Amino acid sequence: MNPDLNSEVAALRNQIYVLLIALIVVSGTLTVYLYRQASIERKDIESIRPQAEQLVKAFNQNQSLMVGFVNQLVAYGQTHPDFVPVLAKYGIAPVKGIPATAPAGAAPAAPKK
């Protein structure tokens, strides 16, 4: 074989080994970094958990009050059609039977023939 070819193959083989070692070092460093971040976040979650549980508990206790308030708004919207667009604006389903755009007492337009 050609001596230049042997030296080039040996140089490429050495370069591959160096790149493999660099890849192992970089991937190991990234793994250690991600493990460290995960453990820090786990500790943060555990420290926040009691506060979050209090918020969920307060929400669950007040949920019946909120549902009652929304039901009162819907009932008010049934008797006051001008309030229906406000309900629609905040995502509360308008009451069926009362159109959102027609004024109260207005007859629907007759179809044209």
pLDDT tens digits, 28-65:
999 999 999 999 999 999 999 999 999 999 999 898 88
Q: What pLDDT shows up at residue 1?
A: 63
| Cα–Cα distance measured from residue 53 to residue 17, given in angstroms and rounded to the nearest whole number | 53
Residue with token string 């969920």: 56
Is pLDDT above 60 for 95?
no
Q: Quick check: 78 pLDDT over 90? A: no
Average pLDDT over residues 5-26: 95
**Per-residue DSSP letter, 99:** -
User: How is the chain split into domains, by residue range?
Assistant: 3-89
The CA-atom distances, in angstroms, between 78 and each of 6, 25, 81, 101, 106 are 91, 69, 6, 14, 15
Compute CA 39 distance to the chain's CA centroid, rounded to the nearest angstrom. 23
Q: How far is CA 92 from the centre of its chain?
A: 22
Q: Which residue, among 56, 97, 47, has the nearest Cα to 77 in the 3D structure? A: 97
Write down the pTM of the prediction: 0.47
Residue 68 — pLDDT band, cuts 50, 70, 90? confident
**Residue 39, both tokens:** 């453990």
Read off the pLDDT band of 96 (50, 70, 90): low
Two structure tokens written together for 91: 């995502």
Instruction: Give the mean pLDDT of 15-32.
Output: 98
- Residue 50: predicted pLDDT: 93
